[in-house]
Amino acid sequence: MRGAIAVIQMTSGPDVAANLAETRRLVAHAAASGAGLIVLPENFALMGVREEDKLAAAEPAGAGPLQDLLAELATRHHVWIVGGTVPLASSDSDRAHAACLLYDERGECVARYDKMHLFDVMLENGERYLESRTTIAGDRIVVADTPWGRLGLAVCYDLRFPGMFRAMLDHGAEIIALPAAFTAVTGRAHWEVLLRSRAIENQCFVAAAAQSGMHGNGRETWGGSMIVDPWGSVIERLERGAGAVCAPCDREQLQRIRRSFPVLDHRRELDRASGRS
């Protein structure tokens, strides 16, 4: 099993066929570069002109062209794939699940995480987002076994909620895969510092795959896909544009850091620290 992790960066648009062709190209490139675990960005298959466009592309769980493509690529290149987010149909015709799917090298979907934290914000520059209008929030964290260690799945806005990552750690997380589509405004201000913070405070690898550039809906995303080690060092980075970067996932380094700097063992319950019984 190849030991490297790759993060893929895209500038997805409203043309699903074009996005999937680009996905094929970049996954093949990452696999040829030695990656065994490949992380795709949020909305890799579709960045629609309207948020409602995702509803037309929503698939039933377990069947559909987007899921079939992820299974095919995993099998063809003998890699594990974190499938960014795929819109999966729900019982509510007006909303879909934003599902982050993990496929093993046999093309089997071995884990599914539904994005928990939805991007309902108004930025100071006037940009407004109301993700909850078309998306159903998930209600559970997901950590899965992989050949590279215990892998936690998170998506974009989840990055701002450190308690979620601490809960993953309590389930043995050693790597966090984070597909994202951070806006240019929030990415410039917070993207790197948040990624490095989550890596440092949980002493884990973070593999963040982003959207980058101007999209057909007029939205600009920040890019900056990166792989961060458990010491908080950025070991690979892709600033702008489409592409892929790879880095080894050194579990011995992770274990060494956790042994020599055992901050995770020093945690205390807040009620105990405050003296409450």
> What pLDDT, in 10s, does the model give residues 186-212?
999 999 999 999 999 999 999 999 999
Burial of 149 (0-12, 13-18, 19+ CB in 10 A): middle
* Helical residues (DSSP H) of 111-183, grouped into ranges: 162-170
The pLDDT score that the predictor gives to residue 124 is 83
What stretches of the chain show up as alpha helix (H) in DSSP? Answer: 16-32, 53-57, 65-77, 162-170, 184-186, 192-202, 251-260, 270-273
Strands 80-82 and 86-89: unpaired
pLDDT tens-place string over residues 68-81 = 999 999 999 999 99
Give the domain ranges of the chain: 4-273
What pLDDT is attached to residue 108?
98
What backbone torsions phi and psi does residue 243 show, to the nearest 5 degrees? Answer: 160, -170
Structure letter (DSSP) for residue 183: B
* Residue among 105, 115, 174, 204 flagged as catalytic: 115
Our measurement of the distance from residue 89's CA atom to the centroid of its chain's CA atoms, rounded to an integer in Å, reads 20
Which one of 100, 105, 109, 156 is the catalytic residue? 156
Banded pLDDT at 3 (limits 50, 70, 90): confident
Predicted confidence (pLDDT) at residue 43 exceeds the cutoff of 70: yes
Catalytic residue among 42, 105, 174, 236: 42
Mean pLDDT value of segment 181-186 = 96
**Domain spanning 4-273: which superfamily?**
Carbon-nitrogen hydrolase (3.60.110.10)
42 is catalytic: yes
Tokens of residue 121, six digits: 């914000």
pTM of the full structure: 0.95
Binned at pLDDT 50, 70 and 90, residue 275 comes out as low
Is 100 an annotated catalytic residue? no
Give the full edge-to-edge strand order of the sheet including 205-210: 143-146, 149-153, 175-180, 205-210, 225-228, 234-238
| pLDDT on residue 162 | 98
54 catalytic? Reply is: no
